Structure 1
Amino acid sequence: MEDKSPVYNPYSSSDPSMNVPVTTGPAGAIMSPYLNFDPAYLGTNADSQFIFPEGAARTRGRLELSFSLIGGSVFIGAGLGGLNGFYSGLKDVQARQLTGANRRTQLLNFITKGGASTAQTLGVVALMYSVFGVVLSWGRGVDDELNTVTAGTATGMLYKSSAGWKRCLRGGAVGLGLSTLYVLFTSRDRIRGMMGR
Protein backbone atom coordinates (compact mmCIF):
# COMPACT_ATOMS: atom_id res chain seq x y z
CA MET A 1 0.00 0.00 0.00
CA GLU A 2 1.21 3.47 -0.89
CA ASP A 3 1.13 6.33 1.57
CA LYS A 4 -1.19 8.98 0.12
CA SER A 5 -0.56 11.64 2.82
CA PRO A 6 0.27 15.14 1.48
CA VAL A 7 3.94 16.11 1.27
CA TYR A 8 4.90 19.26 3.17
CA ASN A 9 5.92 22.09 0.82
CA PRO A 10 6.91 25.35 2.57
CA TYR A 11 6.50 27.35 -0.66
CA SER A 12 2.86 26.45 -1.21
CA SER A 13 1.55 27.24 2.23
CA SER A 14 -2.00 28.43 2.76
CA ASP A 15 -0.82 30.74 5.54
CA PRO A 16 -1.74 34.32 4.49
CA SER A 17 1.32 35.78 6.26
CA MET A 18 3.53 33.96 3.72
CA ASN A 19 2.08 35.94 0.80
CA VAL A 20 4.14 39.09 1.30
CA PRO A 21 4.92 40.85 -1.97
CA VAL A 22 8.55 41.60 -2.83
CA THR A 23 7.62 44.74 -4.79
CA THR A 24 6.21 47.99 -3.51
CA GLY A 25 3.46 48.34 -6.03
CA PRO A 26 2.45 48.10 -9.64
CA ALA A 27 5.69 49.76 -10.79
CA GLY A 28 7.56 46.77 -9.43
CA ALA A 29 10.46 48.53 -7.68
CA ILE A 30 12.30 45.91 -5.66
CA MET A 31 12.47 46.52 -1.95
CA SER A 32 15.60 45.80 0.02
CA PRO A 33 15.11 42.55 1.95
CA TYR A 34 17.51 43.75 4.66
CA LEU A 35 16.34 47.23 5.51
CA ASN A 36 12.76 46.95 4.26
CA PHE A 37 12.62 50.28 2.47
CA ASP A 38 12.33 51.33 -1.12
CA PRO A 39 15.79 52.43 -2.37
CA ALA A 40 14.08 54.72 -4.90
CA TYR A 41 13.37 57.14 -2.04
CA LEU A 42 17.10 57.84 -1.80
CA GLY A 43 17.14 59.21 -5.34
CA THR A 44 19.75 58.64 -7.98
CA ASN A 45 22.64 61.02 -7.86
CA ALA A 46 25.27 61.02 -10.58
CA ASP A 47 27.87 62.14 -8.04
CA SER A 48 27.85 59.24 -5.64
CA GLN A 49 28.90 60.34 -2.22
CA PHE A 50 31.04 58.12 -0.08
CA ILE A 51 32.13 58.43 3.51
CA PHE A 52 35.88 58.80 3.82
CA PRO A 53 37.83 58.44 7.05
CA GLU A 54 39.08 61.72 8.47
CA GLY A 55 42.27 62.77 6.71
CA ALA A 56 41.93 60.20 3.92
CA ALA A 57 42.40 61.20 0.30
CA ARG A 58 39.58 60.90 -2.23
CA THR A 59 41.86 59.16 -4.73
CA ARG A 60 43.70 55.90 -4.44
CA GLY A 61 47.29 56.24 -3.34
CA ARG A 62 50.36 54.87 -5.00
CA LEU A 63 50.41 51.77 -2.80
CA GLU A 64 46.85 50.83 -3.76
CA LEU A 65 47.55 51.44 -7.45
CA SER A 66 50.65 49.25 -7.31
CA PHE A 67 48.60 46.08 -6.79
CA SER A 68 46.67 46.50 -10.02
CA LEU A 69 49.89 47.50 -11.82
CA ILE A 70 51.68 44.35 -10.72
CA GLY A 71 48.74 42.07 -11.49
CA GLY A 72 48.14 43.68 -14.85
CA SER A 73 51.81 43.33 -15.75
CA VAL A 74 51.76 39.63 -14.91
CA PHE A 75 48.67 39.06 -17.09
CA ILE A 76 50.05 41.08 -19.99
CA GLY A 77 53.36 39.23 -19.70
CA ALA A 78 51.59 35.88 -19.73
CA GLY A 79 49.63 36.83 -22.84
CA LEU A 80 52.61 38.20 -24.74
CA GLY A 81 54.86 35.33 -23.67
CA GLY A 82 52.21 32.81 -24.65
CA LEU A 83 51.88 34.33 -28.11
CA ASN A 84 55.64 34.38 -28.53
CA GLY A 85 55.82 30.77 -27.31
CA PHE A 86 53.11 29.76 -29.78
CA TYR A 87 55.04 31.33 -32.65
CA SER A 88 58.32 29.72 -31.55
CA GLY A 89 56.57 26.39 -31.02
CA LEU A 90 55.07 26.43 -34.50
CA LYS A 91 58.51 26.98 -36.01
CA ASP A 92 59.95 24.17 -33.87
CA VAL A 93 57.30 21.56 -34.65
CA GLN A 94 57.48 22.35 -38.35
CA ALA A 95 61.27 22.04 -38.35
CA ARG A 96 61.09 18.71 -36.47
CA GLN A 97 58.05 17.55 -38.49
CA LEU A 98 56.05 16.50 -35.43
CA THR A 99 52.45 15.35 -35.82
CA GLY A 100 49.49 14.47 -33.63
CA ALA A 101 49.85 14.36 -29.86
CA ASN A 102 53.59 15.10 -29.98
CA ARG A 103 52.96 18.29 -31.95
CA ARG A 104 50.22 19.38 -29.54
CA THR A 105 52.32 18.65 -26.45
CA GLN A 106 55.33 20.50 -27.84
CA LEU A 107 53.18 23.55 -28.69
CA LEU A 108 51.66 23.58 -25.18
CA ASN A 109 55.12 23.34 -23.64
CA PHE A 110 56.35 26.33 -25.64
CA ILE A 111 53.24 28.38 -24.80
CA THR A 112 53.33 27.69 -21.05
CA LYS A 113 57.08 28.17 -20.68
CA GLY A 114 57.08 31.38 -22.71
CA GLY A 115 54.03 32.75 -20.89
CA ALA A 116 55.37 31.95 -17.43
CA SER A 117 58.81 33.38 -18.16
CA THR A 118 57.55 36.69 -19.56
CA ALA A 119 54.87 37.02 -16.87
CA GLN A 120 57.50 36.57 -14.17
CA THR A 121 59.83 39.10 -15.78
CA LEU A 122 57.17 41.81 -16.17
CA GLY A 123 55.81 41.08 -12.70
CA VAL A 124 59.25 41.56 -11.12
CA VAL A 125 59.84 44.79 -13.03
CA ALA A 126 56.42 46.11 -11.96
CA LEU A 127 57.11 45.10 -8.36
CA MET A 128 60.47 46.92 -8.31
CA TYR A 129 58.92 50.01 -9.91
CA SER A 130 56.08 50.00 -7.39
CA VAL A 131 58.40 49.63 -4.41
CA PHE A 132 60.57 52.51 -5.60
CA GLY A 133 57.48 54.66 -6.30
CA VAL A 134 55.87 54.00 -2.91
CA VAL A 135 59.12 54.60 -0.99
CA LEU A 136 59.70 57.86 -2.87
CA SER A 137 56.12 59.00 -2.26
CA TRP A 138 56.34 58.28 1.44
CA GLY A 139 59.83 59.76 1.74
CA ARG A 140 59.07 62.99 -0.11
CA GLY A 141 55.50 63.29 1.11
CA VAL A 142 54.21 63.99 -2.40
CA ASP A 143 53.26 61.84 -5.39
CA ASP A 144 54.33 63.65 -8.54
CA GLU A 145 56.02 63.16 -11.89
CA LEU A 146 59.51 63.30 -10.38
CA ASN A 147 58.74 60.17 -8.36
CA THR A 148 57.59 58.38 -11.51
CA VAL A 149 60.71 59.25 -13.50
CA THR A 150 63.04 58.45 -10.59
CA ALA A 151 61.30 55.12 -9.91
CA GLY A 152 61.50 54.17 -13.60
CA THR A 153 65.20 55.00 -13.80
CA ALA A 154 66.01 53.15 -10.56
CA THR A 155 64.03 50.13 -11.72
CA GLY A 156 65.94 49.91 -14.98
CA MET A 157 69.26 50.21 -13.18
CA LEU A 158 68.39 47.63 -10.52
CA TYR A 159 66.99 45.15 -13.05
CA LYS A 160 70.21 45.18 -15.06
CA SER A 161 72.58 45.67 -12.12
CA SER A 162 73.84 42.07 -12.14
CA ALA A 163 75.00 42.33 -15.78
CA GLY A 164 77.74 44.90 -15.19
CA TRP A 165 77.81 48.66 -14.90
CA LYS A 166 77.44 49.36 -18.66
CA ARG A 167 74.23 47.35 -18.89
CA CYS A 168 73.12 48.84 -15.58
CA LEU A 169 73.44 52.32 -17.09
CA ARG A 170 71.65 51.19 -20.25
CA GLY A 171 68.83 49.76 -18.14
CA GLY A 172 68.59 53.07 -16.28
CA ALA A 173 68.45 54.94 -19.59
CA VAL A 174 65.65 52.68 -20.82
CA GLY A 175 63.76 53.17 -17.54
CA LEU A 176 64.29 56.93 -17.75
CA GLY A 177 63.05 57.03 -21.34
CA LEU A 178 59.95 54.90 -20.71
CA SER A 179 58.98 56.74 -17.54
CA THR A 180 59.51 60.13 -19.22
CA LEU A 181 57.29 59.09 -22.13
CA TYR A 182 54.65 57.93 -19.64
CA VAL A 183 54.79 61.23 -17.76
CA LEU A 184 54.59 63.24 -20.99
CA PHE A 185 51.59 61.20 -22.12
CA THR A 186 49.64 61.26 -18.85
CA SER A 187 50.50 64.72 -17.49
CA ARG A 188 50.48 66.92 -20.60
CA ASP A 189 48.21 69.57 -19.11
CA ARG A 190 50.13 69.82 -15.87
CA ILE A 191 53.47 70.10 -17.67
CA ARG A 192 52.07 72.83 -19.94
CA GLY A 193 50.86 74.69 -16.84
CA MET A 194 54.31 74.42 -15.24
CA MET A 195 55.95 75.77 -18.39
CA GLY A 196 53.55 78.72 -18.47
CA ARG A 197 51.69 77.91 -21.69
Structure 2
Amino acid sequence: MAYEPKRPSNQSEDNNRRLYNPYQDLNVPIQTLYKLPTSPEFLFQEESVAQRRSWGENLTFYTGISYLSGASVGASKGLVDGVKASEPGDTLKLRLNRVLNASGQTGRSLGNRAGVIGLLFAGMESGMVAVRDTDDVLNSVVAGLGTGALYKAASGPRSAAVAGAIGGVVVGLVVTGKQFLKRYVPI
Protein backbone atom coordinates (compact mmCIF):
# COMPACT_ATOMS: atom_id res chain seq x y z
CA MET A 1 0.00 0.00 0.00
CA ALA A 2 1.43 3.36 -1.04
CA TYR A 3 1.74 6.19 1.42
CA GLU A 4 -0.56 9.13 0.80
CA PRO A 5 -0.15 12.26 2.86
CA LYS A 6 -3.18 13.53 4.66
CA ARG A 7 -4.82 16.46 2.96
CA PRO A 8 -5.94 19.38 5.04
CA SER A 9 -9.65 19.69 5.38
CA ASN A 10 -9.70 23.11 3.71
CA GLN A 11 -7.92 22.08 0.46
CA SER A 12 -11.14 21.96 -1.47
CA GLU A 13 -11.73 25.55 -0.34
CA ASP A 14 -8.18 26.54 -1.55
CA ASN A 15 -8.97 25.42 -5.09
CA ASN A 16 -11.87 27.85 -5.25
CA ARG A 17 -9.89 30.84 -3.94
CA ARG A 18 -8.30 33.50 -6.10
CA LEU A 19 -4.68 34.35 -5.22
CA TYR A 20 -3.86 37.89 -4.10
CA ASN A 21 -2.08 40.04 -6.67
CA PRO A 22 -0.41 43.05 -4.99
CA TYR A 23 -0.01 44.81 -8.36
CA GLN A 24 -3.66 44.64 -9.47
CA ASP A 25 -4.39 48.30 -8.67
CA LEU A 26 -1.35 49.62 -10.57
CA ASN A 27 -2.85 48.97 -14.02
CA VAL A 28 0.37 47.33 -15.18
CA PRO A 29 0.11 44.36 -17.52
CA ILE A 30 1.51 41.39 -15.65
CA GLN A 31 3.43 40.23 -18.75
CA THR A 32 5.62 43.35 -18.82
CA LEU A 33 6.02 43.67 -15.07
CA TYR A 34 9.28 41.72 -14.85
CA LYS A 35 10.89 42.52 -18.20
CA LEU A 36 14.21 43.98 -17.12
CA PRO A 37 16.39 46.07 -19.45
CA THR A 38 19.41 44.39 -21.00
CA SER A 39 21.47 47.56 -21.47
CA PRO A 40 23.43 49.03 -18.57
CA GLU A 41 21.61 51.61 -16.47
CA PHE A 42 23.34 54.77 -15.29
CA LEU A 43 22.45 57.09 -12.48
CA PHE A 44 23.62 60.18 -14.37
CA GLN A 45 23.47 60.82 -18.12
CA GLU A 46 27.20 61.76 -18.20
CA GLU A 47 28.12 58.24 -17.14
CA SER A 48 26.50 56.74 -20.22
CA VAL A 49 28.69 58.85 -22.52
CA ALA A 50 32.01 57.71 -21.02
CA GLN A 51 32.72 54.10 -21.91
CA ARG A 52 35.54 53.56 -19.42
CA ARG A 53 36.10 52.77 -15.77
CA SER A 54 36.44 55.56 -13.22
CA TRP A 55 39.90 56.33 -11.83
CA GLY A 56 39.20 54.36 -8.64
CA GLU A 57 37.94 51.32 -10.54
CA ASN A 58 40.90 51.63 -12.89
CA LEU A 59 43.33 51.78 -9.97
CA THR A 60 41.80 48.75 -8.28
CA PHE A 61 41.59 46.75 -11.49
CA TYR A 62 45.17 47.29 -12.70
CA THR A 63 46.71 46.88 -9.25
CA GLY A 64 44.77 43.70 -8.51
CA ILE A 65 45.31 42.08 -11.89
CA SER A 66 49.02 42.84 -11.93
CA TYR A 67 49.53 41.66 -8.34
CA LEU A 68 47.65 38.43 -9.00
CA SER A 69 49.56 37.80 -12.23
CA GLY A 70 52.92 38.55 -10.62
CA ALA A 71 52.17 36.36 -7.61
CA SER A 72 51.09 33.46 -9.84
CA VAL A 73 54.18 33.69 -12.02
CA GLY A 74 56.40 34.08 -8.96
CA ALA A 75 54.84 31.10 -7.22
CA SER A 76 55.38 28.97 -10.34
CA LYS A 77 59.01 30.08 -10.57
CA GLY A 78 59.47 29.41 -6.85
CA LEU A 79 57.99 25.95 -7.30
CA VAL A 80 60.55 25.12 -9.96
CA ASP A 81 63.38 26.60 -7.86
CA GLY A 82 62.23 24.69 -4.79
CA VAL A 83 62.16 21.39 -6.68
CA LYS A 84 65.63 22.06 -8.13
CA ALA A 85 67.02 22.97 -4.68
CA SER A 86 66.02 19.66 -3.12
CA GLU A 87 68.92 17.35 -2.29
CA PRO A 88 69.00 13.56 -2.61
CA GLY A 89 68.99 12.89 1.16
CA ASP A 90 66.02 15.16 1.94
CA THR A 91 62.88 13.76 3.46
CA LEU A 92 59.47 14.44 1.91
CA LYS A 93 58.66 17.01 4.60
CA LEU A 94 61.89 18.89 3.97
CA ARG A 95 61.34 18.91 0.19
CA LEU A 96 57.78 20.11 0.62
CA ASN A 97 58.98 22.82 3.01
CA ARG A 98 61.59 24.01 0.48
CA VAL A 99 59.01 24.14 -2.30
CA LEU A 100 56.47 26.04 -0.19
CA ASN A 101 59.06 28.52 1.11
CA ALA A 102 60.47 29.20 -2.35
CA SER A 103 57.01 29.55 -3.89
CA GLY A 104 55.81 31.90 -1.17
CA GLN A 105 58.90 34.09 -1.17
CA THR A 106 59.23 34.42 -4.94
CA GLY A 107 55.48 34.81 -5.45
CA ARG A 108 55.19 37.52 -2.83
CA SER A 109 58.20 39.41 -4.17
CA LEU A 110 57.12 39.31 -7.82
CA GLY A 111 53.50 40.03 -6.90
CA ASN A 112 54.46 43.15 -4.96
CA ARG A 113 56.64 44.43 -7.81
CA ALA A 114 53.92 43.85 -10.38
CA GLY A 115 51.31 45.43 -8.09
CA VAL A 116 53.39 48.60 -7.75
CA ILE A 117 53.81 48.77 -11.52
CA GLY A 118 50.04 48.34 -11.98
CA LEU A 119 49.38 51.06 -9.40
CA LEU A 120 51.76 53.50 -11.11
CA PHE A 121 50.29 52.73 -14.54
CA ALA A 122 46.69 53.17 -13.41
CA GLY A 123 47.49 56.47 -11.71
CA MET A 124 49.34 57.82 -14.72
CA GLU A 125 46.72 56.69 -17.21
CA SER A 126 43.91 58.23 -15.16
CA GLY A 127 45.96 61.42 -14.84
CA MET A 128 46.49 61.53 -18.61
CA VAL A 129 42.77 61.11 -19.25
CA ALA A 130 42.00 63.92 -16.80
CA VAL A 131 44.61 66.27 -18.31
CA ARG A 132 43.86 65.59 -21.98
CA ASP A 133 40.10 65.07 -21.52
CA THR A 134 40.16 62.30 -24.14
CA ASP A 135 40.47 58.55 -23.89
CA ASP A 136 42.71 57.15 -26.59
CA VAL A 137 45.76 54.97 -27.20
CA LEU A 138 48.18 57.83 -26.61
CA ASN A 139 47.18 58.03 -22.94
CA SER A 140 48.03 54.38 -22.39
CA VAL A 141 51.35 54.53 -24.24
CA VAL A 142 52.48 57.68 -22.40
CA ALA A 143 51.40 56.10 -19.11
CA GLY A 144 53.50 53.03 -19.98
CA LEU A 145 56.50 55.22 -20.75
CA GLY A 146 56.09 57.13 -17.51
CA THR A 147 55.53 54.01 -15.43
CA GLY A 148 58.69 52.33 -16.66
CA ALA A 149 60.75 55.48 -16.19
CA LEU A 150 59.37 56.17 -12.71
CA TYR A 151 59.75 52.55 -11.57
CA LYS A 152 63.44 52.51 -12.48
CA ALA A 153 64.21 56.17 -11.68
CA ALA A 154 66.27 55.25 -8.62
CA SER A 155 68.61 53.11 -10.76
CA GLY A 156 69.78 56.09 -12.79
CA PRO A 157 68.71 57.99 -15.90
CA ARG A 158 69.87 55.34 -18.36
CA SER A 159 67.93 52.55 -16.63
CA ALA A 160 64.90 54.82 -16.36
CA ALA A 161 65.03 55.62 -20.08
CA VAL A 162 65.36 51.95 -21.06
CA ALA A 163 62.55 50.90 -18.70
CA GLY A 164 60.37 53.74 -20.00
CA ALA A 165 60.93 52.66 -23.59
CA ILE A 166 60.16 49.04 -22.69
CA GLY A 167 57.00 50.11 -20.83
CA GLY A 168 55.81 52.20 -23.78
CA VAL A 169 56.44 49.41 -26.28
CA VAL A 170 54.75 46.78 -24.11
CA VAL A 171 51.68 48.93 -23.55
CA GLY A 172 51.56 49.80 -27.25
CA LEU A 173 51.62 46.10 -28.15
CA VAL A 174 48.93 45.28 -25.60
CA VAL A 175 46.64 48.07 -26.82
CA THR A 176 47.21 47.06 -30.45
CA GLY A 177 46.45 43.42 -29.60
CA LYS A 178 43.29 44.48 -27.77
CA GLN A 179 42.10 46.49 -30.79
CA PHE A 180 42.91 43.56 -33.07
CA LEU A 181 40.90 41.19 -30.89
CA LYS A 182 37.94 43.59 -30.78
CA ARG A 183 37.93 43.89 -34.52
CA TYR A 184 38.62 40.36 -35.77
CA VAL A 185 37.58 37.99 -32.97
CA PRO A 186 33.83 37.77 -32.45
CA ILE A 187 33.08 37.50 -28.75
Question: The TM-score by the shorter chain falls in which range?
Answer: 0.7 to 0.9
Could you tell me which runs of 5 or more consecutive residues in structure 2 were left unpaired when the two chains were aligned. Answer: 1-7, 23-27, 183-187
Relative to structure 1, the CA distance from residue 43 to residue 98 in structure 2 (aligned partners, 3 Å threshold; closer, same or farther) is: same
**Corresponding residue number in structure 2 for 1:55:** 46
**Corresponding residue number in structure 1 for 2:132:** 140
Relative to structure 1, the CA distance from residue 91 to residue 38 in structure 2 (aligned partners, 3 Å threshold; closer, same or farther) is: farther
**Corresponding residue number in structure 2 for 1:149:** 141
Within 5 Å, which residues of 2 pair with 1:17-166? 41-44=32-35, 47-48=38-39, 50-57=41-48, 59-63=51-55, 64-94=57-87, 97-166=89-158
Identity among equivalent positions (%) equals 25
Could you tell me which runs of 5 or more consecutive residues in structure 1 were left unpaired when the two chains were aligned. Answer: 1-13, 26-30, 32-36, 191-197
Moved over 2 A (4+): 37-49, 54-62, 186-190
CA distance in structure 1 between the partners assigned to 2:54 and 2:46 by the alignment: 16
Amino acid at match of 1:117: S
RMSD: 3.1
- Does structure 2 conserve the Cα–Cα contact (< 8 Å) formed by 1:156 and 1:175? yes
Asked which structure has the greater RCO (Cα within 8 Å, sep 6+), the reply is 2
- Does structure 2 conserve the Cα–Cα contact (< 8 Å) formed by 1:78 and 1:115? yes
Cα offset, 1:162, TM superposition: 1.0
TM-score, normalisation: structure 2:
0.73
- Does structure 2 conserve the Cα–Cα contact (< 8 Å) formed by 1:62 and 1:137? no
Cα offset, 1:140, TM superposition: 1.3
- Does structure 1 conserve the Cα–Cα contact (< 8 Å) formed by 2:148 and 2:167? yes
Q: How many residues align?
A: 159
1:181 aligned residue (163, 169, 173): 173
Per-residue CA shift, 1:48-77, capped at 9, x if unaligned? 352421422353335123312211111111
Task: Judge which range, 66-75 or 110-119, deviates more.
Answer: 66-75
